[in-house]
Amino acid sequence: MNRTPSETRAPRMEALARLPIFLALAGKRVLIAGGGSAAAWKAELLSAAGAHVDAYALEPCEELLALAADPPGGPIRVHRRAFEPGDLDGAVIAVGAIDGEAAAAQFAAAARRARVPANIVDKPMYGDFAFGAIVNRSPLVIGVSTDGAAPIFGQAIRAKLEALIPRGFARWAEAARRWRPRMRSLPSHARRRLWERFTQAALARPNDVPSDLDALAADLDAEPSPSGSVALVGAGPGDPELLTLRAVRALQSADVILIDDLVAPEILDFARREAKKMLVGKTGHGPSCRQDEINALMVSLANAGRRVVRLKGGDPMIFGRAGEEIAACRAAGIPVEIVPGVTAAQGAASRLAFPLTHRRHARRLQYVTGHAEDGGSLPELDWASIVDPSTTTAVYMPRRTLRALAASALTHGIDPATPVVAVAEATRPGETVVHGTIADIAARLEADSPVGPMLVMIGRLLGESASEVARGTARSDPVGQPGATTGSGSGSAARG
């Protein structure tokens, strides 16, 4: 059954415990009630953001007084008296570093009456907003919040980010701020591409900010090319964490994304929100768009100056009809890039901790398709390689033909006890695994009826003694003979 390409919506954003907002406080008045170390830390933070801080405390600590004498940014004024509700006049936010539940509730109520958002230190149930853990590469600033549930966990995440994000990013972000006014006169697509070049340079040499940004903008005044491009991007078997960094960059720079049905919806969380997303529906044994229609759509979008990502499950170069799409792009003179992905066999093997090769027991790994061009019959296969006990075979899309494939393998001499593992929805939350042998796997799958994209792996390393083989302690006898490392095939479906 054919269908036409159709636009699809990105997944809705899930519920947020807190909305992260970055306030511009330079020159604005903020109020702090309290004079202890917590009040001093908040005063330092708010002053660093440029705020004019008024702190009210009968007995301010030495740390707070020292900050008032030498503030990091905006001025800090310490008033040696208790806070009064009238002090809230003119404040844009208020912070209560207050002991006691009753006093905290009274401060929060006064702030709400004055319509001033309030934060109550260590008492999030009374406040309107919370301070998160901060990674400061200003003007690049990252906030981390656990909604008050686990502040130490938030601090640990901040420490991880501190280690990951180079200090030099602060200078790159400052350079971007200086450079931004020069970009406003450019068309939007040229501006985005120039920012992409800027970003690539920053990621490549984070601590080497050029003093002259003209080197990065040599073509700032050049006429931008109207032609677009196509990237064939592997989305992997389903787990979004298996995306490559290159795939993420392609998704974040795309104007249009053409999506296969087999792509996990969570993958689109990495895409640019402004990108147009179109479902082109290439899925086994179901309604699909014609390949020539996909080719024509891809080329026409690129000819219109769009950056097109053709998003495919697994790896685009493995049973993904990439050859036809590459040929269509080249025939139209469209630049085409290939972004490899984790193919289903690799994803399934990693989840199951099954090695696919071994220097003694499995010297060859092969990927074969489970169906011919018509989608329903068995393809021409090299049966000698499939029955070879030193080979691990991964069969893609064999749902309709597995019984015929197993029967033919048995006819060509494969040992009936050869272990087989079938995996549906590999690496996804609904992953289903069925263990068996080449003699009974078809019956087991028919009984368990797992849903989703299917992969079947055949080979001696897939038995219950696979870990023993991986350690090199198993014998090298032929599969099915005494001392062989075959599995019993007694495992039934197990959901991941």
Q: In three state form, how does the secondary structure of the chain look? A: CECCCEECCCCCCCCCCCCCCCCCCCCCEEEEECCCHHHHHHHHHHHHCCCEEEEECCCCCHHHHHHHHCCCCCCEEEECCCCCHHHHCCCCEEEECCCCHHHHHHHHHHHHHCCCCEEECCCCCCCCCCCCEEEEECCEEEEECCCCCCHHHHHHHHHHHHHHCCCCHHHHHHHHHHHHHHHCCCCHHHHHHHHHHHHHHHHHCCCCCCCCHHHCCCCCCCCCCCCCEEEEEECECCCHHHCCHHHHHHHHHCCEEEECCCCCHHHHHHCCCCCEEEECCCCCCCCECCHHHHHHHHHHHHHCCCEEEEEECECCCCCCCHHHHHHHHHHCCCCEEEECCCCHHHHHHHHHCCCCCECCCECEEEEEECCCCCCCCCCCCCHHHHHCCCEEEEEECCCCCHHHHHHHHHHCCCCCCCEEEEEECCCCCCCEEEEEECCCHHHHHHHHCCCCCEEEEECHHHCCCHHHHHHCCCCCCCCCCCCCCCCCCCCCCEEC
CA-to-CA dists, residue 462 to 125, 221, 465, 469, 485, angstroms: 54, 60, 8, 10, 9
Would residue 221 show up in a list of annotated catalytic residues for this protein? no
Would residue 276 show up in a list of annotated catalytic residues for this protein? no
Instruction: Choose, from 42, 123, 282, 312, the residue flagged as catalytic.
Output: 282
Instruction: Choose, from 54, 87, 239, 260, the residue flagged as catalytic.
Output: 260
Q: What are the residue numbers of the active site?
A: 260, 282
